[in-house]
Chains A and B, each alone.
Chain A
Amino acid sequence: MVAISENTKGGRSKMHSKKFALIVACASITMMFAAFTSAYIVRRAAGNWLEFRLPTVFFVNTVVILLSSITLQTSYHFFKNGKEFMYKGLLVFSFLLGLLFLVLQYQGWLDMTAIGVELTGNPSGSFVYVISAVHAAHILGGLAAITVALVQAFSLKYRVTPKRKLRFELTLIYWHFVDFLWLYLLTFFVIQS
């Protein structure tokens, strides 16, 4: 498998086929969330809809996830430029921020339950729980990718090779993607309420 993609990447195209495949996959994930949010709009238009304030922690969390995107990007920058310490440090930091995001999302769900908006209540609340949970599952996937990056950062000797650069870039693309996905979802919830 590796042999083939290495052999063919030179071909005619500018973008690496794996990178392109990842972007196509992101488009597909986007459709999944487009379905959720359009279902939200259709259901909301049908009436019997409970309005409630989104937990503040969701907004705090947006800063956390945006920050993690910046730190991961910076980590990649240091990785390319031979600053091994900063690269590894920021990679760890990004991972922790991702973890923090999940913890704070959980806090957000608790806050919603505390004001009486429960998972099984009016669909307006159920939608927020389910959509943010599916998003959290995608964050978990991103964390898995960063974990692999961490394991390799600390177990392999530091070297900048095209293969490792590509691997890092793939992680980066996906992480930015789930980050912007959250930004979209939050904006959507705010505009709708």
Chain B
Amino acid sequence: MASTKIAPEKTREDLLIEEQGFDDHFHDHHHGDKYQSNFIMKYVFSMDHKIIAKQFLITGMFWALIGAAMSIIFRLQLGFPEENFSWLKPLLGGWIIVDEAGIGSLDPQFYYALVTMHGTIIVFFVLTAGLSGTFSNLLIPLQVGARDMASPLLNMLSYWFFFMSGCVMFASLFLSTGPFSGGWTAYPPLSALPQASSGSAAGMTLWTVSLVLFVVSVLLGGINYITTVLNLRTKGMTMWRLPLTIWAFFVTAIIGLLSFPVLASAFFLMMCDRGLGTSFYLSEIFVGGQALDHVGGSPILYQHLFWFLGHPEVYIIILPAMGLVSEVLSVHSRKPIFGYKAMVYSILAIAFLSFIVWAHHMFMSGVNPFISNFFVLFTLIIAVPSAVKVFNWITTVYRGNLRFNSASLFALGFVSMFISGGLTGIFLGNSAIDIQLHDTYFVVAHFHIVMGIAAFFGMFAGIYHWYPKMYARFMNETLGKIHFWGTLIGAYAIFWPMHYLGLAGVPRRYYRFDTFDAFAHFGAMNKFITVAAIIVFALQVLFVVNFFYSIWKGKKVTTRNPWGASTLEWTTPIHAGHGNWPGKIPSVQRWAYDYGKDGKEFVSQVEPLAEGELTDGEGGHH
């Protein structure tokens, strides 16, 4: 054969896999063609988890740009309410109202639509599908030692349901009545009455359809993740040998599977109210002086159902980021993760608590204050496992041999954001303080830092770290560092001042503040926030450019295990084909965090234990 390819040299890991690996006869069947032969099957309706991961990631990036661009538009309105926005007319068309003097201003109705869409898109499409969809798909089979997901077909469907969901939401942006504008939480009556506002009409219908498709996508994905982790772990991969990434994705999937169906139920009752005339959420209501037929419903009922998903959703977003950060920090500080079991138990504790704190979003909805005490208590208890995790990250890094690269910097940035945002959560968790802070910019600052920016940082850490595995190239380090420092400083510049706004009682979701005596003097601060937001947005564009540029032009990966990591994904070939390992699947001999052990920088999970050696993580520690 006139092949120019040089047979890659066999590494020690290869030999170990050959010697002790598990032969599942995967490559005996010549079904590889089915997956890899033509463009459509390989890149579009792919059933390979690595390709599906990239599909989730790139779709997530598309939505992140749209969601962030929306925030820039409404930040322009808040920072410069007197400015002439006619220059936005080519993009926004009729949503820019031009008066006789030729001054263009943003349609207030559309401002609400922007705020609503920004929240929906970032929470669901970017930080749920884009984060968990990407990394669960990429890492679960690779790190547990499986050929693929338990059901590659469901996995493919999971992506395409997400894609359809996105198409419906995208279409809603172009409706003449505008996309849904009642807030991402879609509280009734704004969501349940089509005549409540222009965005509540067709915009809300498409919003609901889109999110129902999204729930299907999450459930199909989640079923697969859970089954793969429990059923397809390779020989020797006990639960206590799983990397923390897998623990995080696994628990995330369980939370999603238990909470998203509740959202589906809430939406179903809402659709009945909208379409069939039932009164689940609608009480006696007058619209335009006209009494409606609806009687006896309870809007609070929706809030209960929504937040039963909504609060666990916060952890669906943050747990995968925590998992990625744990792995990245351990690898790049060349030290075992500190308190592996404590990390696992705190993930489980957070997951459990996430289901019994939902009413802390409803302290001001007329919930009985005695019942509130209950929710205050459990909410504050979440600080304990969260603090355990923060302590362990810091201790992992402490006296480590830290490599300062884009991946580890973003992981450290995550810890910083999680601490800053977490502390304000202790304020908001108190129902008494919440009376003052509810629905103010203090809340906006809190959740953007703790689950918005922090989750993005975790995601960036993951992308920079696993990029070599995804594309066999590195992303540009200089651009990565500019991206990191700019985003870190910029994000604090955006959200830190918002705490002050919130303490002063500035309410969220308002179209402009310059017309209120109480808030008009915050004009300069709002300008400052807007400018910072524009800079941070530009830096994210830089990241996207770096990402796509590096796919084709990045520095090539020359060794399989560029970071010197001990987990299984780095024992696959640089360009891992379908089935991940060319021969047998590896069998696992030890836990995932043997760094700096017995004079060796790292020990791969396929390396057998030396005589008398104990492995950590599963009780073998001394």
Contacts and interface: CB of A to CB of B under 8 A. Distances in A.
A42 B301 contact: yes
Nearest to B24: A7
Interface residues of A, number: 39
A104 to B, nearest CB: 22
B230 interface: yes
B176 interface: no
Contacts of B26: 3-4, 7
Contacts of B261: 28-29, 31-32, 35
A84 B258 CA distance: 40
A10 interface: yes
Interface string A104-146: 0000000000000001101100110010001000000000000
A31 B279 contact: no
B51 to A, nearest CB: 14
Interface string B347-373: 000000000000000000000000000
Contacts of B544: none
Contacts of A42: 298, 301, 304
B315 to A, nearest CB: 16
B230 A130 contact: no
A27 B293 CA distance: 37
Interface string A1-16: 1011101101111010
Contact of B230 (A8, A20, A39, A119): A20
Contacts of B304: 39, 42
A67 B26 CA distance: 43
Contacts of B234: 11-12
A126 B273 CA distance: 10
Contacts of A12: 233-235
A4 B280 contact: no
A1 B47 contact: yes
B219 A25 contact: yes
Given A4-B147, A28-B257, A43-B280, A20 B231 contact: yes
Contacts of B305: 35, 39
Nearest to A134: B268
Size class of the contact patch on chain B: 35 or more
Contacts of A32: 261-262, 264-265
B563 to A, nearest CB: 28
A48 interface: yes
A20 B295 CA distance: 44
B265 A39 contact: yes
Contact of A119 (B222, B226, B276): B276
B390 interface: no
A17 interface: yes
B152 interface: yes
Nearest to A125: B278
A86 to B, nearest CB: 32
Contacts of B259: 31
B227 interface: yes
A123 B147 contact: no
Contacts of B29: 3
B151 A5 contact: yes
B265 A36 contact: yes
B92 interface: no
Contact of B301 (A3, A5, A28, A43): A43
A43 B298 contact: yes
Contact of A39 (B150, B227, B277, B301): B301
A156 interface: no
Given A11-B232, A13-B231, A18-B150, A28 B276 contact: no
Given A20-B230, A32-B262, A25 B301 contact: no
**8 tightest A-B CB contacts, nearest first:** A32-B261, A35-B265, A35-B262, A17-B231, A31-B261, A17-B150, A120-B277, A21-B227
Given A4-B152, A24-B227, A39-B301, 16 more contacts: A1-B152, A1-B153, A3-B29, A4-B26, A11-B233, A18-B151, A21-B223, A21-B227, A24-B222, A27-B257, A28-B219, A31-B259, A31-B262, A35-B266, A120-B293, A123-B297
17 contacts: A7-B24, A7-B26, A11-B234, A12-B235, A18-B150, A20-B227, A21-B226, A25-B219, A28-B219, A31-B262, A32-B264, A35-B308, A39-B269, A42-B304, A122-B295, A127-B280, A130-B268
